[in-house]
């Protein structure tokens, strides 16, 4: 991995922020939401040109060699703009899986395709509960030296846009990771109904689907990839929490009632101060967890679980209270506050519930006593 300084990290984040500000405004987001794909392929190509799709991939494979810290920083930008693309699954989790593969002849070409933007990957492997910490719902059976997959996996993000899926499946001995061509006729994709149109969630069903096993990627390596995904999602939620808070404060300072900004009213001041605590705690814990994962710290898992439930719960709290502070104008889908609240609802269940991660955090802490 490349040794990024704080200035390097900030420069990449600012570049990404400028790109999304220019290419992914709220108006553009709403237009993208209405399309079948749910993301902008042209913007994705520009992200690839800037090297963003190769964020977590080594330079010798066409990437820029970032770590969980760089991923968290860019995901804060994703959250601020409610960016809708396969960035989390394809550019953060999938490379973390492939980096663990001991067969470089298999992994290297896939990493190069992700870095170039040629390949869009998704990651699948949880049951109907959405909890990635539970056993996978797909089984893998060896047939004549190859593998076939059977079963359904749920809450797969951008499945219809993905060319390749990395599927967590149960073998005779343990959970393993398999590569699947999403264009195979045996793959059935059913789109979920969702109030959050900024994401595309699907159930993917495999019926004797041919798959290639990734050598050396077992339960421990999958757990590590999940940690990278969780801290990245926490970063997204922290960035979105800060943005909706900033929008709310701007409104409180410009909306006049009885001859003064409503932000001067004592009750609203107190409410805004409480929300600021939620914002700052989210940003702090997300960045701290990303730093721990990047460094391979002993407490990385505990901090990741802490970030997972803290950022999810705070985003939901701040986005819901923002609707209250905006008043009647925010109670319709046409107001941006509703977009943030809907993303908060989706993100709270993406890899598992905040209650689940709270329990896992407590178990990690108890183990240190």
198 and 229 in a single domain? The answer is no
Work out the average pLDDT over 333-342. 88
Work out the average pLDDT over 273-296. 94
Distance from C-alpha of 341 to C-alpha of 59, rounded to nearest angstrom: 37
What's the pTM value of the predicted model, to 2 decimals?
0.94
Per-residue pLDDT, 349: 81
Residue bearing the bigger pLDDT, 290 or 3: 290
**Is 210 a domain residue?**
yes
210 and 228 in a single domain? The answer is no
CATH code of the domain covering residue 340: 1.20.140.10
pLDDT digits (tens, 9 = 90+) for 100-159: 999 999 999 999 999 999 999 999 988 888 888 888 999 999 988 789 999 999 999 999
Which of 102, 120, 138 represents a domain boundary (last residue)? Answer: 120
Instruction: For residue 267, count CB atoms less than 10 angstroms from its CB and return exposed for 0-12, middle for 13-18, buried for 19 or more.
Output: exposed
Distance from C-alpha of 107 to C-alpha of 111, rounded to nearest angstrom: 6
106 and 43 in a single domain? The answer is yes
Instruction: For residue 235, count CB atoms less than 10 angstroms from its CB and return exposed for 0-12, middle for 13-18, buried for 19 or more.
Output: buried
Which of 188, 218, 248 represents a domain boundary (last residue)? Answer: 218
CATH code of the domain covering residue 110: 1.10.540.10
Per-residue pLDDT, 195: 77
Both structure tokens of 332: 């319709």
CB 89 within 8 A of CB 168: no
112 and 136 in a single domain? The answer is no
Both structure tokens of 171: 């073998």
State the residue range of the domain holding 274.
Answer: 220-366
**Is 1 a domain residue?**
no
Per-residue pLDDT, 266: 59
Strands 139-143 and 121-124: unpaired
What rounded mean pLDDT belongs to the chain?
90
276 and 319 in a single domain? The answer is yes
pLDDT digits (tens, 9 = 90+) for 31-41: 998 898 899 99
91 and 155 in a single domain? The answer is no
230 and 306 in a single domain? The answer is yes
The number of folded domains in the chain is 3
196-205, 214-223, 240-249, 319-328: least confidently modelled range: 319-328
pLDDT digits (tens, 9 = 90+) for 189-233: 999 887 788 888 999 999 999 999 999 999 999 999 999 999 999
139 and 232 in a single domain? The answer is no
């Amino acid at each position: 991995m490349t040794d990024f300084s704080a200035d390097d990290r900030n420069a990449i984040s600012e570049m990404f922020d400028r790109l999304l500000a220019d290419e992914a405004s709220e108006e553009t987001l709403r237009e993208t939401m209405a399309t079948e794909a749910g993301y902008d392929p042209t913007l994705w190509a520009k992200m690839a040109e800037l090297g963003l799709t190769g964020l977590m991939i080594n330079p010798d494979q066409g990437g820029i060699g970032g770590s969980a810290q760089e991923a968290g920083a860019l995901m804060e930008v994703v959250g601020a703009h409610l960016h809708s693309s396969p960035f989390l699954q394809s550019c953060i989790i999938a490379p973390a899986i492939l980096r663990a593969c001991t067969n470089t002849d298999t992994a290297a070409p896939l990493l190069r395709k992700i870095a170039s933007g040629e390949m869009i990957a998704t990651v699948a492997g949880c049951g109907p509960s959405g909890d990635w910490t539970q056993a996978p719902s797909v089984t893998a059976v060896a047939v004549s030296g190859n593998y076939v997959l059977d079963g359904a996996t749920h809450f797969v993000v951008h499945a219809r846009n993905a060319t390749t899926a990395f599927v967590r499946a149960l073998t005779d001995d343990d959970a393993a990771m398999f590569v699947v061509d999403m264009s195979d006729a045996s793959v059935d994709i059913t789109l979920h109904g969702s109030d959050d149109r900024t994401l595309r969630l699907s159930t993917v069903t495999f019926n004797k689907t041919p798959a290639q096993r990734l050598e050396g990627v077992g339960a421990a390596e999958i757990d590590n990839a999940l940690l990278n995904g969780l801290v990245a999602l926490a970063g997204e939620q922290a960035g979105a929490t800060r943005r909706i808070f900033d929008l709310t404060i701007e409104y409180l300072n410009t909306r006049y009632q009885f001859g003064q900004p409503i932000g001067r009213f004592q009750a609203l001041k107190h409410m805004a101060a409480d929300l600021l605590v939620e914002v700052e705690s989210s940003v702090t814990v997300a960045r701290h967890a990303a730093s721990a994962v990047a460094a391979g710290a002993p407490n990385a898992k505990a901090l990741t679980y802490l970030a997972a439930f803290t950022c999810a719960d705070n985003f939901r709290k701040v986005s819901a209270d923002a609707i209250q502070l905006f008043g009647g104008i925010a109670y319709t889908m046409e107001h941006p506050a509703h977009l943030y609240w809907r993303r908060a609802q989706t993100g709270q269940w993406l890899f598992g519930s905040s209650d689940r991660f709270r329990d896992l955090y407590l178990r990690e802490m108890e183990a240190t006593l």
